[in-house]
Structure 1
Amino acid sequence: MNLNVKLTNISNFEHSEFNFRSGCINILEMPNAAGKSAILKAIATAYSFPLKSRIAEESATRLGIWRKVPPQPLAKIGSSRGIIEIKANGDVRTCIIETQEDIIVNQDGDEKFLFTSFVSIESELFRRISGGEDSLKWLLPAVSKVEDYERVLNVVFSIFDKIEKSLQITKDKKSHLELLKSEIERTKEELTIVEQELEDINQEIEKAKDKMDPELKKKYEKTSAKIENLRTKINEKEKEVKNSSNDLRRLAKEIERHKKELEDIDTKISEIDVELKQLGTDKEVKREIENIEKELDDLGKKRAIIQYRLKMFKSALSLNEGTCPLCGSGEFNKNYIQNRIEETQRELNKTDSEARAFTAKKENLARKLERIKDLNKKLPELLDKKQYIEREIDKLHREIEPIELKTRSLDNEIKALKSELAEKEELLNKLREKIMEKSEVKELYRKIELLLERKGELSARLSQKYEEIEEISKINILEREIPLDRAEELCKLYIAALNEVLNWLKNRINEQKKGFAERFNKSIDNVITRLKFKNLKVWIDSEDLRILIKRGESHQLIASLSLSEKSVIAVLLQIAIKEAFLPKVPIFLIDEVITDFDKERAYEVIKYLLEVAKEKDWIIILAKVGEKSSIMQISSIDEITKIF
């Protein structure tokens, strides 16, 4: 298998092409600052983009492959666009690096490539190991589904906490409810006793009234009845006011809920507006597509002319004698024709490269156009929904107005009734004073006053307790009002279901960790065994994913190793990670690093990589500093010494 890499306006390269072979070690040798690292980074870009995770973006930024904020680092300074084209066994990858925008790819790569298949002093693993970090926890989300599971786990935990709090509140409310019921029963018993005492005293007063002036008695009874009637009316009006207040609170909650919906919609509309400004209008994008189609059409015509010229030169070459109208002298010149064929073929390749770049950009613009259409479709839907909610809020405000008007009217009526009640009570007191001229009746009325005062206190207490019961009769669980008598059972059902989900997620996370550790440990053990490092054992703990190192009988920490030892361990770990987690992409890139080892260690590692390249038909590229630019293929163990 061959890997053909074409770079246009990438780093130092204006138009350059490189070829690498599988089944061997490709030694990419160049002077310092000549661009060898840029070639490896270009390959890594083609096989890793687009990036999806935060850690991949951070790693790509550190490697100098990509920036969230332009200009993009791989594009040649002064150019508006860089192009990476890679061909391998019929697979064609094209990356367009828009200097002031982003990286566009014709097919998705795998961001795991950055963590598994690229070794340099700037790569994530090498950087962490060099810093003494002894855990591979950071790698787990990049090569497994742990991050997805943990994201869901956090959401479920959040819901679980809310339900547990709701359950505790429910239990507290139920305890309080039982206490309130008990207090109500005691208050009712006391009220019954007071009412009985009042009845007994009233009977005694009635007996005394029989002896009083009939006219005074009649007036007293009429005033008492009027007072009772006024109190009944006041109670009825106050109940109406209470019901109106409840309605107003309910409507206010509805309005608040709708306002929150409006805020969410406004946020979405704002996000769509920002995205549409970034994307541009559909007319602008269509115009860009039309321009690209024109460019592609022109390139197609140009290609047809170039192909015709190439055909003519090849036909002329087949003559191999006599005169040649294509040769400058008119006489047949084989070298001249061969040179023109090569020039024309290069021109054709360049035209094809430009066409692929324009095609990739057109596809990206087509996706952008679809996104614009989708957003333009969503926007009126959101605006319609916003108008509907605003109408609902207006409707609720209109419902509130008559209720508020009615409440004010009731308040005025209650005020008037209470004023009339005060007058009647004053009159009754005067009548009572006349009746109480007799000492025995006076004492009875004094007792009634005390009992009525006590009855009022008990009635007020009962009303307060009933109001408290009404207030705690429902509980909000996950934005739903649930009756208190059903809330505890519902919370327990939720908790049982959530516990099952949590256990399932935890098991999946543990399985991912265990699987990660097993795959890695099997791979690193294989690497060390094949390298014949008999006294060295490296593995990771399946629980905390710490890297453990054992030499002979002694254990060592990463932090205790020398810088060169850390480098060796980092390379061994990287090889193991590659073989364990991305073996299907047969490319492994090493930017110097190994050539900095002592010769014995470097020889063993390169020997092992050569065996892997042959066994698995991998393309392994090792970049190193040299006086001249060249690509050398190491196909046998005997040739390894040429590297040093």
Structure 2
Amino acid sequence: MKAKVEIQNVGGIRGRIAFELERGKVNEVVAPNATGKTSLVRGLSAVLSAPFRDEFIINEAINLGIKGERGSKWEEIVNIYEDFAKISVTLDSDVKEYKVHKDGTVKKAPFGDERFLLAGLLTGECKTIRQLLTGNDKFDWIVNKLSRANFYERFYRDVKEERKTIESRKGEVERKIQEIAEKLKEKEQLEKQRDTVSMSLEEIKKRLDIEKQKLLEKRKNLNIKINKLKEEIEIRKGELRRKMKEKEELERGMKKDKETIKKLDKEIASIAIDKIRRDVEKKRNELDNKINELKNQRDEYRGNVNLFQEVLLEMKRGKKEESLCPVCHKSKITFKEVKATVSEYEEKVRIINSQIKKLNIEKEKENQKIVEEERKKAARERERTERLKSIKYKESRLKMINTEIPQITMDISKKSENINKMIEELKVLETKTKDEDEALNNEIKQLEQTLNDISEKIGNIKGFVEEYKKEKVGSVWIDPSVAEKIYSKWLTFLDALMNYLREMIHEHRERARTRFNQQIKELMDILEFTEFDQVALTADDYRLVVFRKGFVNQPIRTLSMSEKYAIATLLQITLKETYLPDIPFFVIDEVILSFDENRKRKIFAYLNEQAKQNNWFVIVTRLSEDVNKILVKPLEIK
């Protein structure tokens, strides 16, 4: 099986080049100097890792020359004479394509794995080598960015942000409760003051004659009515402000819900379940055919095993050194040859069993594609239904509010008109009382003004309390004291969740570290890196430690250049096998070529075996002045 790669306008490559890579092998890319070998590596890296979301990965893409510096008007990967760069990888019917404009606008991006930039490359510019060359032994990004700890960290940041929001809301509610309490206390004091003023006013009125008392009684009643109406108006204004605020929030919420539904409709429409089923069924049929062919071949080999084992048994019994070939029945065959033939056919049976197992695993992966897409679609549809319910509730509530607002406005207007009429009546009564004792009238007027001022303040307080007596939690308006309790319980839950997430982050970091250390130890044994006893990540701060023979600690900064490249090779192969086994690509430049022939041969042999076992495309680049263009061919392992 082969993968077709097309690269257009990438770095030093102007125009389009295309080549094929063979799966299950080490593919050698040979190129003369300045013909785009580095650009080829960058192009492959981009299409296998885009899109880039994590800030750490974005910085790595900038360091590798895949993205331009922040604020730059030119995307680094695009040829300086062209408007865009395009890279595609076609494997069977699956096409991954990355197209980016020279200004950095991504026109098309595959569903790549951005971790490929950290674990899928072994080049002179990769993160591991850059760090080793500077002597920096802090490799915590291995467990933070490549393991599932990264998922829990993103979740932890979201929960932390949510906690910050809830804590802010709780603080606002507590301030609101405090303000309401202070206002109510002020109202209580004003009411006592009003009672005192009213009593003083009553005492003065007793000193007036009966006729004047009647006039004053009318004024009193009018003032009481006016003050009551003013209080009612302030209450209604507070209610009106709350309704208007709720209306704005509902309209914003509906707009957001509709935008979300539009986005969800696009996502749902893009999930073509039937096509995926057909593709999966087609792939399963192909795999079943391959499995059946392998089973037939295995049965044939097993028959040959049984046939030659019978001959072997007869020769042992008769103590014969030669026997007639059981296949052709003509030539003679020795005991050693019979035994070797049995072993040969048994090995073929074992290889076929391994191939059948891999094909069955591949079938199961195909089944999971349908399950995953159906789950995604169902999740989008559930969210869409919830958004529709939310819109329906908001529309119903808006309809009610739009009916209530004109009613409140009209009520305020009517009460204001009544106040104006009563004020006019007061003016008439005031004219009638001008002939009364001016000193008493002035005192009465002053007390009435004081009473009016107090009543107005009380009305303002009632309006304030009416406006802020409800707190919106979610889509429900409730008492601020209840909201404060809800926010407190919410914060308690979020604190517990954050503690759990911190534990999970630590657990997955440790699990990733242990697995990484085990993998690199096994790889060192296989590749016979005997100059080191151990290369591992520490448990406390995830620093890379290197121990020479006799477990002598060797600081990274003191390693020779060749030793740093050797350790980088161990690290990158381990990262690839540990964290990205399902991505069938591993890209290597001339780093390995600087090793001695024995080590280079062992590494290439190991990579070739891994390519066969895992069905990978291993790509190794090499400079050569013996060619005049880029050539791609399977590497001959000697």
TM-score scaled by length of structure 1: 0.60
The equivalent residue for 2:164 is 161
Counting only pairs closer than 5 Å after superposition, residues 222-621 of structure 1 correspond to structure 2 as 222-261=214-253, 264=256, 400=405, 403-404=408-409, 407-433=412-438, 459=455, 462-463=458-459, 465-477=461-473, 480-530=476-526, 531-535=528-532, 537-542=534-539, 544-549=541-546, 553-554=552-553, 556-557=555-556, 564-583=562-581, 588-597=586-595, 599=596, 603-604=598-599, 606-608=601-603, 610-611=605-606, 613-614=608-609, 617=613, 620-621=618-619
Are 1:83 and 1:94, in contact at CA under 8 Å, matched by a contact in 2? no
- Matched to 2:521, the amino acid is D
Residues 474, 481 of structure 1: 8 Å contact kept: yes
Deviation of the 1:267 alpha carbon: 6.5
1:473–1:483: 8 Å Cα contact kept in structure 2?
yes
Structure 1 residue runs of 5 or longer lacking an equivalent are 87-91, 210-216, 280-366, 437-441, 640-644
| Amino acid in structure 1 at the alignment position of 2:591 | V
Over 3 Å counting, the alpha-carbon distance change for 1:555 and 1:82 in structure 2 is closer
Amino acid at match of 2:216: S
Q: 1:502 deviation in Å?
A: 1.9
The answer to whether the 8 A contact 2:231-2:460 is kept is no
| Matching residue's letter, 1:221 | Q
Q: C-alpha displacement at 1:495, in angstroms? A: 1.3
CA deviations 1:283-341 (Å, max 9, x no partner) are xxxxxxxxxxxxxxxxxxxxxxxxxxxxxxxxxxxxxxxxxxxxxxxxxxxxxxxxxxx
Task: State the secondary structure of the residue aligned to 1:623.
Answer: strand
Q: Determine whether 1:624 maps to 2:622.
A: yes
Aligned 8 A contact 1:96 1:103 in 2:
no
Distance in 2, Cα, partners of 1:45 & 1:166:
43
Distance 1:512 1:165 in 2: 31
CA distance in 2, matches of 1:272, 1:167: 33
Unpaired runs of 5+ in structure 2? 101-105, 270-372
Structure 1 residue 21: Cα displacement: 5.7
Residue 512 of structure 1, CA deviation:
2.5
Does the 8 A contact of 1:592 with 1:622 survive in 2? yes
- TM-score when normalising by structure 2: 0.60
In structure 2, how many angstroms separate the alpha carbons of the residues matched to 1:402 and 1:119? 73
Cα distance in 2 for partners of 1:16, 1:176 equals 73
Indicate if the aligned counterparts of 2:28 and 2:620 stay in contact, CA closer than 8 A.
Answer: yes
- Note the alpha carbon deviations across 1:154-212, whole angstroms, 9 max, x for none: 33222212322333344444445555555555555555555556656666x3xxx6xxx
Give the C-alpha shift of residue 227 in structure 1. Answer: 0.8
How many angstroms apart in 2 are the aligned matches of 1:58 and 1:450?
A: 75
State the secondary structure of the residue aligned to 1:430. coil
* 1:120 maps onto 2:109 in alignment: no
Moved more, 482-491 or 30-39: 30-39
What does the per-residue CA deviation read over 1:361-384, in whole Å, with 9 as the maximum and x for residues that have no partner? xxxxxx9xxx9xx9xxx9xx99xx
Contact 1:42 1:84 in 2 (8 A): no
Change (3 A) 1:622 1:165: closer
CA contact (8 A) 1:72 1:97 kept: no
Residues paired across the two proteins, number = 500
Is 133-142 or 572-581 further displaced after alignment? 133-142
Alignment-derived partner of residue 352 in structure 2: none
Q: Do the aligned partners of residues 60 and 93 (structure 1) sit closer, same or farther apart at CA in structure 2, a change above 3 Å counting?
A: farther
Given that 2:28 and 2:633 are in contact with CA atoms closer than 8 Å, whether structure 1 keeps it comes out as yes
Taking the TM superposition and a 5 Å limit, the aligned residue runs for 1:57-76 are none
Q: Which has the larger radius of gyration?
A: 1
Q: Which amino acid aligns with 1:540?
A: L
- Residues 470 and 245 of structure 1: is their aligned pair in 2 closer, same or farther, counting only changes over 3 Å? closer
1:33-52 alignment runs, 5 A limit: 48=48, 51=51
Give the Å deviation of 1:424: 1.5
In the alignment, the residues of structure 2 paired with residue 461 and residue 181 of structure 1 have an alpha-carbon distance, to the nearest angstrom, of 11
1:236-261 deviation per Cα after TM superposition (whole angstroms, max 9, x unaligned): 43244334423532442244235434
